[in-house]
Amino acid sequence: MDNQAQFEMKVSNLANRFLYNSLTTPQRLLPLAERIARDGQKLAKEYDEQQRIQSVAEELLKVMDGSLYLVDRLADAILTKDYQHLSEDELVDELGKIEGNSDEEERLIQLLMESIQSNLQQGITLEEIYYENYLTEYAASLMEIYVIQHLKNQEEFLNELQPLIKTNRDSEVPYGIFVRVSNNFKKELARQYYRYETVVKLMETDAH
């Protein structure tokens, strides 16, 4: 098996393990799910409708940027052979500080707003849209951090991947592979994890 295929297998196996853990012990992600549900409820009460949609789009774009940022960090570490800044605490901390990529930001927010508008017209509430999308994106970033934690100790193997990485994010290693694995993770989590209504009911139960 070549290095690229080995890398994909390792990433995929680790992502599946994180997914399995998240689904078999759903309380692991529950504090996060409840926080996201509450944030969505707050956003849905603020401003006028257009402003609400824009706020949700901006928050979703920020969390989507997190995933790409993490893969960038792994690629940089492999290219420089320096793995000491990939600790879980450091990456989680940086995830909360990500700002959008200004060149593309306006266009992407516009696209997200159109998509949100279309979902609203189909009868899905803004709270649900925010919860379902933010949860899967943020959980995918946590999955990527989990994967990176297990990979970073395999320095010899990672160093061999160096020739496969293109700096313009155009290479299968690590970009294409992480995108595929991450999309699959998000689809499965959205399909099998607590829906918005369930989390709201759990929050109401906790409050009594």
Which tens digit of pLDDT belongs to each residue from 140-187?
Answer: 999 999 999 999 999 999 999 999 999 889 999 999 999 999 999 999
User: Residue 101 sits in which domain range?
Assistant: 3-207
The H or E element spanning position 153 is: none
d(CA 133, CA 16): 20
d(CA 98, CA 15): 23
d(CA 45, CA 35): 16
Torsion of CA 67, 71, 20, 150, to 10 degrees: -140
pLDDT digits (tens, 9 = 90+) for 2-30: 999 999 999 999 999 999 999 999 999 99
Residue burial 150-173, b: 16+ Cβ < 10 Å; e: rest: ebbeeeeebeebeeebeeeeebbb
The reported pLDDT for the residue numbered 99 is 76
In total, how many domains does the chain have?
1
- Residue 102: which pLDDT band, with cuts at 50, 70 and 90? low
- The pTM of the full predicted model, rounded to 2 decimals, is 0.95
The percentage of residues in the chain with a pLDDT greater than 90, rounded to a whole number, is 89
Q: Over 90: is that where the pLDDT of 124 sits? A: yes
Token look-up 């893969």 returns 71
Closest C-alpha among 66, 68, 200 to residue 127? 200
The helix/strand/coil state of 86 is: coil
- Residue 100: which pLDDT band, with cuts at 50, 70 and 90? low
Closest C-alpha among 54, 63, 6 to residue 36? 63
Tokens at 88, concatenated: 């879980």
The reported pLDDT for the residue numbered 39 is 97
